[in-house]
Chain A
C-alpha cells in the first residue's frame, strides 16, 4: 500500500493535477451553490472538458474535485438560503439555516466545512483500506459472476428506492438497459433497434442522456416553479471561528457519521442523500434529552452529522466503482461513463494495470478536501455572491451549457434534438415520481452486462452457468430476494395493521 501511496502522491502532486483539484473544487463549489444544479448535472457538464484533456488521471481528479466542491457548495446554499442545491444537503438546512437566521452563518459554514473535511478524509482512508481488499476478491470473478454482480447492483438500487417505488425504479432500470441495446453492439456488429435511422447507429450518447435526465429537468423545474430566494439575514458573513467547547461537542458526531456514512455510500443505490438523513436521525436519537430539543433550531450537532455523512458517503460510493466497475449512484455512473470514454475500464484490474490512476484519485481526495477547507472557507463570502445572479440570466445559461455538453461530445446537431426530446420525457417521468438515476445506471451498465452475459453463454453453451457456478447462483438469488423483500415486508406490515384494526 505504501508503494501505491507514493505512486499516487507522485501523480497527484504534479502541477497540472494540483491545478485540476483546485480548479475542480472551485468550479464545483461555484456551480453547486446554484439551486437546481446538483453534482450530477455539474459533472455531466464538465465531462466534455475532462474527456478532451486526454489524461485519465487528470480527468478523474478534476471530476472528483468538482464532485466534492458541488456537495460543499450545495451545503452553503442550504445554510445561507435554505435552498439546497443538492438532495444530499437537504438535511444540512434543518439546523444550518436556523443558525444562519440567528446570525451565526459564519460559524455554521465553518462547522460544515470541518465536518465535510473530516467526513471526506476519514472516508478516503477507509477507501484506501477496503478498495484493494475488495478488488483482490473481485479478481476471482469470471464473466458469469460479473453479470450476476451487475444484476445484484441494479436490484439493490431498485430495492433501496423506498416503499412503493420499487416497481418504478425497476422499470427505469429496465428502460435504461433497453436504451443501451439501441445501436451497434461490439459483440455482434449488427445494428439493433435503430429503426433505420443513421444517427442511432452508434446508439444514444451517454452525455446527452445524462444531461437530459438531470440537468434539463432541473432547469425546467426552476422555470416552472421559481423558488423564492430568501435573504440571508444581513448578508454579511463574519465570525468564522468555533470554540473548543463546540469542537469537543461535534468530534464524536463526526467520528460516528464518517463510518456510518461511508458504509451507506458503499451500498449501491444508497448514496449521500440517504446517508445524510440517516445520520441526522441517528444523532438526534442518541443525543441527550436537552440537546434533542435543540435539533432543528440550530444545533451544531444536527449540522455536523449530515455534513459528515454526505461527504463520507460520496467517498464510499467510489468503492464499488473503482473495485468492481459498478456504479452505485447516478454520479458515479456518470464518472464511469467518462472513464470508459477515456479508455480506462474501472474494475479489479484497474489497481493492477493502472495503479497510478487509482492512487492518484485517492490522494486527490485528500488534497481536494484540504482545498475545500483552506481555500474555499475564506472565499465563501465572495463565492456566495453567485447566489444573487438573477434567474433570468441563470436559466438560459444552464440550458446553453446543457446543450453544449451534448454537442461538443458528438459534434452532431441531432444530438441536441434528442436531448430536448429526452429532457421532456424525463421531466414527465419526474412529475410522476419515477426515479431517474436508475435509468442512467442501467444505460451505462447495459453494454457491459450484455457482454458478460454473452461471454458466459458462449463459455457454457447456454444458461448452464447459472447453476454450474455456485457464486453466480448465490448472487442471483440475493438479487431476487432484494427485489421481492421490500414488497413482502410492506405486505406483511399492511396485513398486520389491518388485523389490528379488525381486532379492535
Chain B
C-alpha cells in the first residue's frame, strides 16, 4: 500500500475519533437552554466529520484514479538515499531549543542552536560559525526586544535575566 493511502488511513482514524466526539460525547454537557438553539456547538463538527470520513475513504479505497506523478522533486521510496539522519537531528535540536528557550534564556539557547545546526550539517569552520551565530543572535534579540518591544528572557533564570 502506498504512503498516501497509509496517511489516508491515519486521517480516517482522526476523523472517526473526531466524529465520535462530535456525535456522541460533546452534547452531554450542553446546558438545557442551549438545546433549544437550532445550532449546537457540535453541529458543524458533525458535518465535517462526515465529509472527512467520506474523503478519507475515497483516498483509502483508491476510488479516484490518478495518473502516477513522476515529476515530484522528492520521492519517499528513496528516503534511504537522502540525508535523513541530518533532518532528524535538526528536528531533535528544534525540540531541545523549544524546551530550553524559557529556562536557559534567549541569547544562550539561540547561539547554541545556530552553532549546533551548522555543525550538524557538516560545518567545521569554528572561526566563522561562532561569530556569525553570536552576531545574528544579538541583532535578532535587539530587533525583537527594542524595535518590536516584545519581551524575551535574555539570560538564564538563575542569573535573573
Contact = CB atoms under 8 A, between A and B. Distances in A.
B159 interface: no
Contacts, number: 178
Nearest to B84: A224
Contacts of A168: 4, 59
B117 A408 contact: no
Contacts of B116: 396
Nearest to A178: B48
B114 A396 contact: yes
B41 A188 contact: yes
B90 A408 contact: no
B55 A171 contact: yes
Interface string B57-89: 011000111110100111010010011101100
A390 B102 CA distance: 30
A396 B118 contact: yes
Given A224-B87, A432-B76, A420 B44 contact: no
A434 B7 contact: yes
A121 B122 CA distance: 45
Nearest to B47: A453
A201 to B, nearest CB: 15
* B contacts with A: majority SS: helix
A193 B21 contact: yes
B52 to A, nearest CB: 4
Nearest to B4: A432
A397 B136 contact: yes
A428 B84 CA distance: 13
B7 A49 contact: no
A250 interface: no
Contact of B18 (A178, A408, A450, A454): A178
A149 to B, nearest CB: 17
* A contacts with B: majority SS: helix
A434 B144 CA distance: 35
A52 B148 contact: yes
B146 to A, nearest CB: 12
Interface in B10-49: 11, 14-15, 18, 21, 26, 34, 37-39, 41, 43-45, 48-49
B121 A224 contact: no
B51 interface: yes
Contacts of A224: 74, 79, 82-84, 86-87
Interface of B: 2-4, 6-8, 11, 14-15, 18, 21, 26, 34, 37-39, 41, 43-45, 48-49, 51-52, 55-56, 58-59, 63-67, 69, 72-74, 76, 79, 82-84, 86-87, 90-91, 94-95, 97-99, 101-102, 110, 113-114, 116-118, 121-123, 129, 132, 136, 140, 144, 148-151
22 contacts: A52-B148, A171-B52, A171-B56, A174-B51, A175-B14, A177-B48, A178-B15, A193-B21, A220-B90, A224-B79, A390-B123, A393-B132, A396-B90, A400-B140, A408-B150, A411-B151, A417-B98, A419-B98, A420-B91, A420-B94, A428-B3, A461-B38
Given A178-B15, A185-B41, 4 more contacts: A178-B52, A400-B140, A419-B94, A454-B44
7 A-B pairs with the lowest CB-CB distances in the bound complex, closest first: A164-B66, A396-B117, A416-B98, A432-B4, A392-B123, A171-B55, A224-B82
